Amino acid sequence: MKLPIVAYGDPVLRAKAEEIEEDYPNLKGLIDDMFETMYAASGVGLAAPQVGLPIRLFVVDATPFGEDDEDGPGDESAKDFKKVFINPIIIEESGDLWGFSEGCLSIPGINEEVQRKENVLINYLDENFEEHEVLLTGVAARVVQHEYDHIEGKLFIDKLGPVKKTFLKSKLEAISKGEVKTSYKMKFPQGRKKR
């Protein structure tokens, strides 16, 4: 079942999400729904707060970045990178900062280059509540850093400079009012109601 994606401006996107237990109601169904919702919106990652749930869970499938195309070979780190992250903890980010154009299903129509460190060491539980600790790099690290920010109540636009932020202000305001077109269903904090 596809879920509506929460738009910029909803407080759930600004909350620090809570850890969950293995008996979280219908967790398997929720994970399936999140993948279905993400694929239908052509996303490579989706965090639970984006479907209105303030819990520490996100799903990623970066394989589109791993495919070879006319621009050259795909990103090695993204090949087969499909995972569920539950109660993740970033232990360390390392390496040089690099820029990558990011977008967000909750902030449609805005893509900006964001600087992040190239490697991330992360501990997490998978969908079977088995613990893993992995060192990610490249695009795989990038997608995870973006989604991890969501469960910390942070958004990629927070990382932009003051000039960019000012420039985007009216666009963001429009998104929060539902004045944006998307191919997928969204939930807007202010609805379309006029004051």
Q: Which stretch binds Zn ion (CB under 5 A): 2-10, 14-22, 59-67, 98-106?
A: 98-106
| Residue selected from 12, 53, 104, 136 as contacting Zn ion according to rule CB under 5 A | 104
Which residue in 122, 128, 116, 104 sits closest to 5, CA to CA? 104
Distance CA 78, CA 24 (A): 29
Nearer Cβ to Zn ion, position 59 or 104? 104
* SS3 call for 161: coil
Tell me: does residue 34 bind Zn ion (CB under 5 A): no
Distances from the Cα of 53 to the Cαs of 35, 83, 92, 132, 192, in angstroms? 15, 19, 26, 23, 22
Tell me: does residue 46 bind Zn ion (CB under 5 A): no
Would you call 152 a catalytic residue per the annotation?
no
* SS3 call for 51: helix
Q: Which stretch binds Zn ion (CB under 5 A): 87-95, 102-110, 121-129, 181-189?
A: 102-110
Q: Quick one: tokens of 115? A: 């600087």
Q: Which stretch binds Zn ion (CB under 5 A): 28-36, 57-65, 101-109, 122-130?
A: 101-109
Strand-pair category, 82-102 with 57-61? antiparallel
Nearer Cβ to Zn ion, position 133 or 158? 158
Tell me: does residue 44 bind Zn ion (CB under 5 A): no
Distance CA 34, CA 47 (A): 8
Tell me: does residue 5 bind Zn ion (CB under 5 A): no
Find the shortest distance in angstroms from Cβ 188 to Zn ion.
16
Catalytic annotation, pick one of 18, 36, 147, 152? 147
Contact 145, 73 (CB under 8 A): no
By annotation, the residues acting in catalysis are: 147
The residues binding Zn ion (CB under 5 A) are 104
